[in-house]
Structure 1
Amino acid sequence: MRIPYWLIVLAGIAFMLLNGNISQPLSWVYTGLFVVFYVFSYVQSTHLWRWPFTRYATVALGFALPLWYLVKMRFNLSWSTYAEEMINYMILVSLMYGYFKIQDKDRRIKDRLFQSANWDALTKVQNFAAYDRAIGYEFRRSAGHDADLSMVMFDIDHFKCVNDTYGHLAGDEVLKRVASTVASTLKAIDPKVVLYRTGGEEFNIIFPNYDVDQTREVAQRVFDAVKNLTISYNDVDINVTISVGVSALSVKDSNPLDFYKRVDANLYHSKQNGRQQITVG
């Protein structure tokens, strides 16, 4: 756990004041050692060094010996009591290490499940499940606070021809490059705007607090970025374009699906009228 070093020092001083031993030199030495102990422990916990348990136990024992020796001196403990406390301490250290490993494994499993549930494995952008939650939240927020909300939907023109002509691996490469290009373009404009892959070659972008004119400008930059993209696959250069639909939330939209359908209708209009264009409505 990251705690500012100065706060550890202040906590140690406060503890000495509370116990009335701030004038004792041994208390200051103990507090200083404890702060250094924390620093060492934190640094090693943030680095993936080899032999983690050996390092963990060595640091714990290396600082426990002088810390408990100061306690022995302060309270005139016997050597047998000192040894017993050290043995108990190392047992606790081993148990705590096992507990931390279990917690770390559990966290990693949860992270992988979260990634699988919310991110598209191929394009590395968020998926339909993430989009569904986000649009539900933004719809309620916009309706409740009378805030602007716009959306862009696009898909890759003639994507089936890419798969049929160059193979599905080429199609995968096109999806990845288009997604990364659009994501980079959005990040440069507004890092808060998120790209979602909501279908095979279909993508959505939600624009909280954007009116339709602002969204149209961003859609044009996304459109141009993809149009200027050349994707190389097996010594073949593949050029792709996108068809785009843009719309803003309307008072007629009673739920997120109504909003989605209108944006989708604008996308369909672009596709039916020659593709490679943006329809706003």
Structure 2
Amino acid sequence: MGMITTIFLLSFVNIGVIGVLQRLMHMLDPDIEGNNPSPWRTELLYTLYFTVVIALVFVLATRSSSIEWLMWVNLALVLMMSYTDAVKTRLNIILPLVITVALFFLFTKSVSYWLVLTLTIGIISLLVERQWFFPFDKHPVIVLSVKAGIGAISWVGLAVMLHLPLKVPVSMYVVYLVVTALTYVYMVLMRQEHINNVDTARNLLYDNLTHARNWLSFRSDAEDDFQNDRQLGIIAMDIDHFKQINDTYGHLAGNTILIHFSDRLEEILAQQTDGARLYRTGGEEFTILYPDATEADVKQTAKQIQAAIRGLQVKIDKGRQISVTASMGVESRHAADKNAFDTFKRADRLLYESKRNGRNQISIGTEH
């Protein structure tokens, strides 16, 4: 098989394997917020997929002629390097190298210090690359140099271990370099597409200014929670005198207040609640959706927010500070509610009751 044909075949197979891996990632981890608490566990499933593919490659290698055998080994090496770019956690960077070397030994019954050396240098190099040169698409020279170095050590080791004539490892190494470079370009393009898709998804569900979830997200989440028969607590709130602040200090000052206000609320919810979510549902209007919370929990959260917001001082231009307060309406789901917006509308009416009564107040719905 000629070099051009080999390059085409290995590139086709490698890109195909990576393409399937990306589909698997989208299925198993669709989280666009990066909030997966144990990404290494999810990546173990990807590593299992990698292991099956590499095992199949070595099975094909053992049933091939000597030159084709080397081609399949080259493919295993390329797949290993490509896979380590696709994962994030250290465990799942180390495992592919260990698995590839272990399967090589299992299928060939060949072992030497070159295998151990290649494995050790590969692990160290990839961990260094991941620590200081991540993500891979931002440091092409470093990343490709690491791949080239690991490939060189691997083929020198195979040449020594298998007593190969010089032209064989040289030609295989050239194929490795070309396929690795082509795959790298493909993965960079796929990563950019993924980033664009994530940004698009976030723009649909998140407010660009405050990064809180938006009205569309609130509407979807609230109705999902309601349909799943979850107890809902809703806190509707409005920054007091916001229009006056905008008119007096300008829209930049208003934007600064919105950002600080949202950030402070997110901090409180993260520290004091279990699962409450913040949404920007209007210009200066924010809503907190608190599923599975008792009425007492929702009231307590509203009081904690009020206390924290009363102490919020936002710096604007020329060192000036603006004190921020908020009016709130607090409601919980009633048995008679037909949908989540029945609850929300009551909370919204209570919010405006707080504003009519002088602002900087909490109005709480009657218990049911």
Provide the TM-score with structure 2 as the length reference: 0.67
Distance 1:180 1:115 in 2: 17
59 and 177 in structure 1: CA distance in 2 versus 1, 3 angstrom threshold: closer
Q: Confirm whether residue 105 of structure 1 aligns to residue 188 of structure 2.
A: no
Aligned AA for 1:78?
A: P
Distance 1:237 1:60 in 2: 53
Task: Measure how far apart 1:122 and its partner are.
Answer: 1.9
Deviates more, 1:164-173 or 1:260-269: 164-173
Task: Provide the alpha-carbon RMSD of the alignment.
Answer: 2.5
Render the CA deviation track for 1:162-195: whole Å, top value 9, x for unaligned: 1222222222222222222222222221263221
Distance 1:90 1:14 in 2: 22
Task: Measure how far apart 1:8 and its partner are.
Answer: 4.4
Give the match for residue 202 of structure 1.
285
Give the match for residue 264 of structure 2.
181
Q: Confirm whether residue 252 of structure 1 aligns to residue 339 of structure 2.
A: no
62 and 154 in structure 1: CA distance in 2 versus 1, 3 angstrom threshold: same
Q: Confirm whether residue 12 of structure 1 aligns to residue 98 of structure 2.
A: no
Task: Measure how far apart 1:214 and its partner are.
Answer: 1.1
1:36-75 residue pairs with structure 2 within 5 A? 36-48=121-133, 52-75=139-162
Specify every segment of 5 or more residues in structure 2 that has no aligned partner in the other structure, as ranges.
Answer: 1-86
Specify every segment of 5 or more residues in structure 1 that has no aligned partner in the other structure, as ranges.
Answer: none
Task: Measure how far apart 1:200 and its partner are.
Answer: 0.5
Distance 2:132 2:288 in 1: 37
230 and 82 in structure 1: CA distance in 2 versus 1, 3 angstrom threshold: closer
Residues 101 and 115 of structure 2 are in contact (CA less than 8 Å); yes or no, is this contact kept in structure 1?
A: no
Task: Measure how far apart 1:232 and its partner are.
Answer: 3.1
38 and 106 in structure 1: CA distance in 2 versus 1, 3 angstrom threshold: farther
Task: Measure how far apart 1:251 and its partner are.
Answer: 1.6
**1:253 aligns to what SS in structure 2?**
coil
Task: Measure how far apart 1:16 and its partner are.
Answer: 2.1
Give the match for residue 223 of structure 1.
306
Distance 1:280 1:213 in 2: 11
Residues 5 and 35 of structure 1 are in contact (CA less than 8 Å); yes or no, is this contact kept in structure 2?
A: no
Distance 2:221 2:168 in 1: 60
**Match for residue 222 of structure 2 among 120, 135, 157:** 135
Task: Measure how far apart 1:48 and its partner are.
Answer: 3.4
Task: Measure how far apart 1:231 and its partner are.
Answer: 2.5
136 and 36 in structure 1: CA distance in 2 versus 1, 3 angstrom threshold: farther
Give the match for residue 118 of structure 2.
33
Q: Confirm whether residue 277 of structure 1 aligns to residue 347 of structure 2.
A: no
Distance 2:133 2:204 in 1: 27
Task: Measure how far apart 1:274 and its partner are.
Answer: 2.4
44 and 277 in structure 1: CA distance in 2 versus 1, 3 angstrom threshold: same
Render the CA deviation track for 1:206-250: whole Å, top value 9, x for unaligned: 111111111101101111211222233334432232111111111
Task: Measure how far apart 1:32 and its partner are.
Answer: 4.4
Residues 306 and 326 of structure 2 are in contact (CA less than 8 Å); yes or no, is this contact kept in structure 1?
A: yes
Aligned AA for 1:81?
A: V
* Identity rate, percent: 26
Task: Measure how far apart 1:280 and its partner are.
Answer: 1.1
1:74-113 residue pairs with structure 2 within 5 A? 74-113=161-200
Q: Confirm whether residue 193 of structure 1 aligns to residue 288 of structure 2.
A: no
Deviates more, 1:169-178 or 1:44-53: 44-53
**2:132 aligns to what SS in structure 1?**
coil
Task: Measure how far apart 1:39 and its partner are.
Answer: 4.0
11 and 200 in structure 1: CA distance in 2 versus 1, 3 angstrom threshold: same
Distance 1:35 1:255 in 2: 59
Residues 9 and 31 of structure 1 are in contact (CA less than 8 Å); yes or no, is this contact kept in structure 2?
A: no
Task: Measure how far apart 1:15 and its partner are.
Answer: 4.5
Residues 133 and 142 of structure 2 are in contact (CA less than 8 Å); yes or no, is this contact kept in structure 1?
A: no
Which protein has greater RCO, CA pairs closer than 8 Å, 6+ apart? 1
**1:82 aligns to what SS in structure 2?**
helix
Distance 1:87 1:94 in 2: 11
Q: Confirm whether residue 214 of structure 1 aligns to residue 297 of structure 2.
A: yes
Distance 1:170 1:219 in 2: 25
